[in-house]
Amino acid sequence: MNNPALQQLTDQELLQRFKTDNNSDWIGVLFDRYALLLLGMCMKYLKNEEDARDAVQQIFLKVLSDVHKHEIQYFRAWIYQVAKNYCLMQLRQQHMKFKEEISDKHMGGIAAEDNDKRVYQEKDILLENMEQAMNLLSPEQKICVQLFYLQKKSYQEIADQTGYSLLQVKSYIQNGKRNLKILLEKQQRANKS
């Protein structure tokens, strides 16, 4: 369903179509819009690319199963919340594994909780910044970065899919990654001042 006309549909229209005919392709189009951002969010929480990729897959399955249960006004806000809750649950489960090894007095009690909240708020800001930065990349860089990092496509697969040469694909990915880093650093400095 890689149809340009589908890209013109709003999140709300895609959701409505899915709820009407239960065709998961509608959700697939929606998910593609936010998948790279969700991967970034999961990376920030879980600190591990493989865990983050697994998390994005699990979040997609959860969205498919839960979307009918909710009246969703803003899909983007809703899917971020689903992703955030999933990551926090993963962290909580990891924490439970280590809880036997570390007593509460070593954790620093309330101070540790406040620190966690601050870290999560910073991660939410970083996710917002990532979305803004992605939108500032050239279309060629954006699509190549998405295909390479999110869909795990090889340089050759990206070249076949986009029509760019291998050299162009490598260049777009390298430049896109560098530009993202520069844009995120600028945004961080702006947020601090």
pLDDT in tens, 57-107: 999 888 888 888 888 888 888 888 899 999 999 888 877 766 555 545 455
pLDDT in tens, 9-44: 899 999 999 889 988 888 888 888 898 989 999 999
Close Cβ partners of 23 (under 8 Å, ≥ 6 residues apart): 17
Residue 49 confidence class, pLDDT cut points 50, 70, 90 = confident
Instruction: Say how far apart CA 106 and CA 95 lie, in whole Å.
Output: 13
pLDDT in tens, 165-190: 988 888 888 888 888 788 777 777 77
Cα torsion through 7, 74, 48, 116, rounded to 10: 160
Q: Give ∠ CA 76-62-77 in degrees, rounded to 5.
A: 15
